[in-house]
Each structure stands twice: as C-alpha cells, then as structure tokens.
Amino acid sequence: MFERSLWRLILPLSIAAFALLFAACGPNPGGTFTNGSEAIPAPGYFHVEGDPKVAGQTMVLRYAGSDGAPSQISDTIERGQPVVIDRTDLPGPHTLLVNGTACRGSFEVRADMETDLVVHLTSEACDTSVLRTHIPGGFTH
C-alpha cells in the first residue's frame, strides 16, 4: 500500500478538499435563508363586472392598493364591450378608479381567495359593491 510518509501528505490534503467541498456545497449555501421566515403574503384575486354590463363609453380602469397609489396596470374597455375583468394582487384594501376618478366603496383582496364585485357606472360617478368572496374556482362567473 502507501508508505507512511505518503499518508502524511494525502490525509491532510483529503481533509482540506472535503472541508472545501462541504463549505461550497453544504446544506446551507449562502446562509441567508431560514426556513419559515418568508414574509411575503400569497396573492389574492378579484373579478369585476359592470352594471350596465356593456361599456357606454371607453373606460380605463386602474386599481389603488392600501397605499392609495394607482397601479401601473390598467384595463381599457372600449365602448360596446363587456365590462369584465380578472386581476391578481397582494392582499389588502383596494379602490377602483374609472377614467382617473375613484369609485365610491372599496374592497378587500384576501390571500388565496377571490373577491367578486360589481362596479355601478353612471355618467357622473361609479360605485363598487362586493358580491361574494370565495376560493378561486369555487364559483362560476
């Protein structure tokens, strides 16, 4: 087998190589994630239908979250098209804006749930009403 002097050289090198490999590929590379520490909530969903169901004029719909700032995402509904929108967002209170004007009433987006609401449209204003909250796919629209 190997002579004793060769073992004195191979053994420390083997241990050093193993330690380096374990440090690079060990059970916690990077060391920054702690299991169970995730603080980002699951998204929720909302389904909007219009009253009347068809747009009487072109509308741009935006959504404001709990910070009150309008979302950068908008939906444009052309005159004569059905007013039906499905969106995903983080949980919290929301307000609907139609053509830059906030509708009366707010709605809550809940994690892993879908909120169905109706937006009542008149020439002067809009109002939102919550119809129901259910698990996604638990109600056919």
Query: Residue 65's domain is classified under what CATH number?
Result: 2.60.40.180
The domain of 99 spans 44-134
Q: Is 112 among the domain residues?
A: yes
Which of 95, 101, 94 has its CA nearest to residue 123?
101
Comparison of pLDDT for 15 and 54, the residue scoring more: 54
Q: Is 58 among the domain residues?
A: yes
The partner residues of 58 in beta bridges, in order of sequence, read: none
Mean pLDDT of 14-43: 65
Residue 63 half-sphere exposure toward CB, CA atoms < 13 A: 25
The partner residues of 54 in beta bridges, in order of sequence, read: 82
Q: What is the pTM of this model?
A: 0.70
Q: Is 117 among the domain residues?
A: yes
Q: Is 99 among the domain residues?
A: yes
Distance CA 126, CA 51 (A): 10
Please give the tally of structural domains in the chain: 1
Q: What pLDDT digit, counting tens, does each position of 39-93 carry?
A: 778 999 999 999 999 999 999 999 998 788 888 999 999 999 999 999 999 999 9
Q: What is the pLDDT of residue 30?
A: 47
Q: Is 102 among the domain residues?
A: yes
